[in-house]
Amino acid sequence: MPWIATGSMDRTVNVWRIGDGDSRRAATEASQTVCQGRKLPGHSRLLLADWSELDVQTWLCEEGLEELVSILKANNIDGEELSRLNEETAAQLGIESLGLRSRLLRKIKALKAEQSGSEAPDEFLCPITRELMGSNHCCRWVFI
């Protein structure tokens, strides 16, 4: 069976099996390969927006969402794209199961809250620093 390897600037290498005709099996094997691979030593210390595609795939495995690895990998979803994911875009990616979509979105929301260090609603967080906004913060509330 012929193989091809591709590389990316984010230091990821993908190995593709060519010509077997069973793309579903290949996608499953690819997600298992990522999940069984090495853990990135620092992805959880990075802000979500700075995660690479491989960081996202590793996080999915850590969260028990291995079945989504191949979908997000095929769509080149990195941390910034993951942070912007919502119900509509998740459906557009082909995540057909409502339960799986909801679980993914809940985990993303929890991750954002964890990284912001606050359980405050997203509307109260600075869109730049993700810190709780206050009167002397760079982003201020404007009351009309």
Amino acid found at 91: A
Domain residue extents for the chain: 3-119
- pLDDT tens-place string over residues 10-20: 777 777 777 65
Overall fold of domain 3-119: DNA polymerase; domain 1 (1.10.150)
Give helix then strand counts, H and E, for the chain: 6, 2
Higher pLDDT, 135 or 141: 135
For residue 32, pLDDT beyond 50: no
Task: With residue 8 as reference, give the H or E element that holds it.
Answer: none
- pLDDT tens-place string over residues 88-105: 999 899 988 889 999 999
Q: What percent of the chain has pLDDT over 70?
A: 65
Query: Whole-prediction pTM value?
Result: 0.55
Task: Write the DSSP string, 62-130.
Answer: HTT-GGGHHHHHHTT--HHHHHT--HHHHHHTT---HHHHHHHHHHHHHHHHHHHT--S-GGGB-TTT-
